[in-house]
Chains A and B, each alone.
Chain A
Amino acid sequence: MWTIFRLSLSQMLRPKRLLILLVVAAVPVALSIVAAITPPDGEDLVDFRDDVLMGPLVIAAVLPIITVVLATASLGHEVEDRTMTYLYLKPVPRWGIALPKIAAAAMVAGVVVVGSGVLTTAIAPEGSFTTSAAAAGGLAVGVLAYTSIFTWAGLMTSHALALGLVYVFVWEAAIVGFLQGVRWLSIRHYTEATIHGIDDIQFADDAAILNLGQALPAAAIVFALFTALTIRRIMRMDVP
Chain B
Amino acid sequence: MATSETDRVANPATIPENGQGDEPTIAVMNVSKWFGDVVSVNDVSLEVRPGLTGLLGPNGAGKTTLLRMICGLARPSGGEIRVLGESVRNNPELYRRIGVMPEHQSTYDFMTGRQFVELNARLQGVPDVREAADHAIHQVDMKVAEDRQLGGYSRGMKQRMRLAAVMVHDPQVLLLDEPLSGTDPRQRIEFQELVVRLASEGRTIMISSHILEEVEAVADRILLLVGGKLAASGDYHVIRQKLSERPYVVRVGASDIRALAAGLITDPSVESISMDGEGFIKVLSRNVTALQIAVPRTAQALGIRLTRVDPLDDSLESVFTYLADR
Contacts and interface: CB of A to CB of B under 8 A. Distances in A.
Interface string B84-110: 000000101111101010101011101
A3 B73 contact: no
A101 to B, nearest CB: 13
B60 interface: no
Most chain A CB inside 10 Å of its own CB: which residue of B75, B104, B119: B119
Given A3-B122, A4-B123, A239-B74, A89 B106 contact: no
Contacts of B106: 81-83, 85
Nearest to B107: A83
Contacts of B100: 85, 89
Nearest to B96: A91
Contact of B74 (A14, A81, A238): A238
Nearest to A4: B123
The residue among B73, B96, B104, B120 with the most chain A CB atoms within 10 A of its own CB is B73
Contact of A94 (B90, B94, B102, B108): B90
B279 interface: no
Contacts of A239: 73-74
Interface string A199-212: 00000000000000
A167 to B, nearest CB: 29
Interface string B106-127: 1110100000000110111100
Interface string A165-198: 0000000000000000000000000000000000
B285 to A, nearest CB: 45
A91 B110 contact: no
Given A83-B107, A91-B95, A91-B124, A235 B90 contact: yes
B132 interface: no
B123 A86 contact: yes
B110 A86 contact: no
A82 B64 CA distance: 14
Interface in A79-96: 81-83, 85-94
A14 B73 CA distance: 28
Interface string A61-103: 0000000000000000000011101111111111000000000
Contacts of A128: none
10 contacts: A7-B108, A10-B110, A11-B108, A11-B110, A83-B107, A85-B104, A86-B107, A91-B95, A91-B96, A239-B73
